[in-house]
């Protein structure tokens, strides 16, 4: 929920032969589907003195109260203390060009939890929901469509399907997806305009 304080538990492995002697901090940020960055934070968690081997840490991460509802990628980096622009490469897969690393997906709501059917919308209709093999998405005709898509994510935040929206009313198939609960995000002109839940029976 936007404005809440998250507790993030993670495990780090020092595969070297000595502990770090500098006060490097763990940093966090969120990236939306349009690649905009939010909530960039240097946490109080330092890796200074961490001995070789595994080390678990629980990090507090404050989400801004005005954070737009949507589906985000949460990313982490090691940075020099109080120097967000000085990142330290880590020997793990998935490194981005600025030495940040994606950790997973995060669904942000502006209400009290993910049980709400629609988190944010601009008069966009999706029906039927639940569905069996297809659903229809209806967008107001006053909308100027530009590179509009709908993305589906499973419960683990993995993107499982992307479909283009080329008209104001589009029927889309879901027969190849297993039954279950999914989250959707609608983007138009790289802006997240709606997100919520879909149920496939």
Give per-residue pLDDT as tens, 174-189: 999 999 989 888 888 8
β-strand partners of 151: 162, 185
> Do 94 and 124 fall into the same domain?
no
Confidence (pLDDT) at 174: 92
Q: Is residue 47 part of a domain?
A: yes
Domain containing 193: what range? 118-200
> Do 22 and 66 fall into the same domain?
yes
Return phi, psi of residue 197, to 5°.
-115, 145
Evaluate whether 77 touches 86 at the Cβ level (below 8 Å).
no
Question: How far does CA 151 lie from the centroid of its chain?
Answer: 12
Evaluate whether 159 touches 152 at the Cβ level (below 8 Å).
yes
Residue with tokens 């100027």: 144
Among 85, 108, 131, the domain boundary falls at 108
> Do 9 and 58 fall into the same domain?
yes
Task: Considering only residues 143 and 171, tell me which one the structure prediction assigns the higher pLDDT.
Answer: 171
d(CA 15, CA 176): 42
Confidence (pLDDT) at 110: 58
d(CA 52, CA 16): 6
Structural domain tally of the chain? 2
Characterize 37-65 residue by residue with b for buried, 16 or more Cβ atoms within 10 angstroms of its Cβ, and e for exposed. Answer: ebbebbbebbbeebeeeeeeeebebebee
- CATH code for position 14: 2.60.40
Q: Is residue 113 part of a domain?
A: no
Among 57, 86, 108, the domain boundary falls at 108
**91 class by beta-carbon count within 10 Å (0-12 exposed, 13-18 middle, 19+ buried):** exposed
Confidence (pLDDT) at 117: 32
Q: Which of 51-60, 76-85, 127-136 has the lowest mean pLDDT?
A: 76-85
pTM: 0.63
Percent over 70 (pLDDT), the chain = 93
Determine the Cα angle at 133 with ends 149 and 141, to 5°. 40
pLDDT at 30 over 90: yes
> Do 102 and 132 fall into the same domain?
no
Among 108, 131, 150, the domain boundary falls at 108
At 1, the pLDDT band (50, 70, 90 cuts) reads confident
d(CA 115, CA 107): 12
> Do 63 and 153 fall into the same domain?
no
The helix (H) or strand (E) run that includes residue 173 is strand 169-173
């Amino acid at each position: 929920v936007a404005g809440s304080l998250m507790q993030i538990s993670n495990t780090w492995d020092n595969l070297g032969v000595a502990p770090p002697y500098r006060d490097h901090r763990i940093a966090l940020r969120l990236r939306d589907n349009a690649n905009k960055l939010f909530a960039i934070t240097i946490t109080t968690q330092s890796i200074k003195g961490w001995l070789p081997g595994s080390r678990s840490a629980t990090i507090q991460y404050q989400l801004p109260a005005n954070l737009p509802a949507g589906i985000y990628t949460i990313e982490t980096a090691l940075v020099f203390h109080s120097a967000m622009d000085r990142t330290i490469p880590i020997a793990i897969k998935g490194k981005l060009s600025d030495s940040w690393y994606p950790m997973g997906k995060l669904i942000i709501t502006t209400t009290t939890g993910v049980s709400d059917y629609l988190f944010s919308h601009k008069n966009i209709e999706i029906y039927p929901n639940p569905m069996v093999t297809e659903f229809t998405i209806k967008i107001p005709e006053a909308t100027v469509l530009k590179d509009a898509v709908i993305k589906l994510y499973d419960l683990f935040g993995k993107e499982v399907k992307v479909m283009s929206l080329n008209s104001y009313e589009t029927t889309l198939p879901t027969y190849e997806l297993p039954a279950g609960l999914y989250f959707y995000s609608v983007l138009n002109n790289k802006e997240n305009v709606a997100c919520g839940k879909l149920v496939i029976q």
